[in-house]
Amino acid sequence: MREVAIRGFINEKFGSTFGKGLFRRALYTGSVELHNPKQKYLVDFYTYADWEFSAKSDEQIAVLKKLDATDIAKTPNILMSWLVHYDPLTKCKSAADGFCIYAQDTKELHLNIDDAHNGVMDEWTLDVQHCKTAGHKKPVFIAANVDLTVWH
């Protein structure tokens, strides 16, 4: 199984405006890192209603229709994110198909990446660990399928 690590940070800009009547609504921001080969994605975790409203592409609408057939929208304390591929060399961000579900009550995270352009077609369900020393530039939670002390 491909190694993955997801780090979630408190969104310091939550509630601030970026235009008239437009507010930053992501509760957490974060990164998804994959090994062999290395890939990086960015995530912004929203409540289901805010996340659902942010769907733009046909692929995202298809994901919404698939999830509407489940009870996920009614599950309390669920946070959702679309994926953005990030190239650290060029600092270029591009939309990527896939989504991430963070169930805060059960401390589970489900990641689904359907990014043929970057050769990533996989999904993971991981346990979330809350960090003891969360703060500025430090994650508030981590989910991984590898020992991060040997991650390089």
CA angle 148, 14, 66 (to 5 degrees): 70
| 121, 1 Cβ separation under 8 angstroms | no
Does 13 or 20 have the greater pLDDT score?
A: 13
The distance from CA 119 to its chain's CA centroid, rounded to whole angstroms, is 18
Cis before 37 (ω within 30): yes
Report pLDDT digits (tens) over 17-59. Answer: 655 555 567 889 999 999 888 999 999 999 999 999 889 999 9
Structure confidence at residue 94 (pLDDT): 94
Q: Which amino acid is at 13?
A: K
Number of domains composing the chain: 1
Q: Where are the alpha helices (DSSP H) in the chain?
A: 48-53, 58-68
**Structural domain boundaries, residue 13:** 4-150
Structure confidence at residue 57 (pLDDT): 93
Q: Report whether pLDDT(134) > 80.
A: no
